[in-house]
Amino acid sequence: PVVVHSDRGSQYACNDFRKLLEQEGCIQSMSRKGDCWDNAVAESFFGSLKSEMIYREFFPSRIHASTAVFEYIEIFYNLRRLHSSLGYITPWEKVQKGKKVA
């Protein structure tokens, strides 16, 4: 199932939104009250996605945008983009190093 994580804003906590998630088979996840660090990783990722791709391109349709986001994540972000939090290697390289140890 898809997990939808958000802060505790009223638009996410209201019953209508919760029912919609339930109807769609999604699991709701919310940050702890007053803990902005719960979303730090997601905020960092979406900031990178927006600045490195979304704001630089025009998408003629929703399907074009969806394809571009998929390619950004699966081809660029995971396979080519160096991550400072990983010691300036890609997530793919990090996984490969972990497999060699195991």
Average pLDDT value for the chain: 92
pLDDT of residue 10: 92
Question: In Å, how far are 12, 65, 73, 102 from 99, measured between CA atoms?
Answer: 38, 33, 21, 5
Q: 87: left (phi > 0), else alpha (psi -120 to 50), else beta? A: left
pLDDT digits (tens, 9 = 90+) for 33-52: 877 787 788 888 999 999 99
Q: Which tokens hold the place of 75?
A: 């081809």
DSSP state of 82: -
Residue whose entry in the numeric block shows the structure tokens 């905020």: 43
Grade residue 14 by pLDDT with cuts at 50, 70 and 90.
very high
